[in-house]
Structure 1
């Protein structure tokens, strides 16, 4: 969906009143999505760094395929995690009766809260500058491909 134009609401006494509410709402929503997408990329990179440190995982391709994120347009949210049917997935994150919880995703987020705030702030501070908004917004849905770093 392209950025909506300002709409003329009405004219009164020779003064034209316009509304940029639709454009502002669109900009805020799209900047939020872009901020979530970049935050997810960062968190995923941090997760992969932590996963690589686990025994036997330095060059394992299953590692890359077990992490994913989705930035959803309709729900305006971010989902990031480990696939549940992978050995380094939910069992590794939450633990089982045979292995302790590793908390890879949880720690990747908690240890990087300040960096995530910086990433989010770069996008949301652009609201005042329309040219910056257009440069930061991507018009496509985004799901992380397998193997992306």
Structure 2
């Protein structure tokens, strides 16, 4: 999708420029990029945890992790999981009647929440870098009088 153009409106020798669509596009792209980096981090940390959990390589579940950033929705989101061709992945995550629950995906997510929030904060702070005139002061409201 191409960057939307600004809309210029002229009335009574005053020119108004509307950049709302461009700003929405920029925010959406920053959120997508942040989610993509969080997905990469999650998959790498999961592989480290998975291969560290076993003394020897046990199956290929670590290799079959993947992430999806669904960006065609109103609000982009991140899905992380195990590909369907990793047959024992679900059994190792949730357990079965004969194997104990390992919960490596769940544990990896819980251990890395702070890191993922930092990644997203770095991307979204780029909004202020693009338009430095936005102040960080808190609005107190009311009219000057």
Give the structure-1-normalised TM-score: 0.78
Q: Which residue of 2 aligns with 1:52?
A: 51
Q: Cα RMSD (Å) of the superposition?
A: 1.9
Q: Could you tell me how far apart the structure 1 residues matched to 2:80 and 2:95 are?
A: 18
Q: Secondary structure at the match of 2:57?
A: coil
Q: Which residue of 2 aligns with 1:40?
A: 39
- What is the CA distance between 1:88 and its match in structure 2? 4.6
Q: Which runs of 5+ in 2 are unaligned?
A: 132-145
Q: Could you tell me how far apart the structure 2 residues matched to 1:64 and 1:6 are?
A: 46
Q: Secondary structure at the match of 1:116?
A: helix
Note if contact 1:93-1:102 (Cα within 8 Å) is conserved in structure 2: yes
Q: Which residue of 1 aligns with 2:20?
A: 21
Q: Could you tell me how far apart the structure 1 residues matched to 2:95 and 2:83 are?
A: 14
Q: Could you tell me how far apart the structure 2 residues matched to 1:92 and 1:83 are?
A: 13
> Can you list the C-alpha shifts for 1:57-109, whole angstroms capped at 9, x where unaligned?
28x6x244320111122132211111344245111111111111111111111
The list of structure 1 runs, each at least 4 consecutive aligned residues, that deviate by more than 4 angstroms after superposition, is none
Q: Could you tell me how far apart the structure 1 residues matched to 2:107 and 2:126 are?
A: 29
> Can you list the C-alpha shifts for 1:95-137, whole angstroms capped at 9, x where unaligned?
1111111111111111111111100101011112339xxxxxx
Give the structure-2-normalised TM-score: 0.80
Change in CA separation of 1:91 and 1:32 when aligned onto 2, cut-off 3 Å:
same
Structure label with greater radius of gyration: 2
Q: Which residue of 1 aligns with 2:10?
A: 11
Q: Which runs of 5+ in 1 are unaligned?
A: 132-149
Q: Which residue of 1 aligns with 2:77?
A: 77
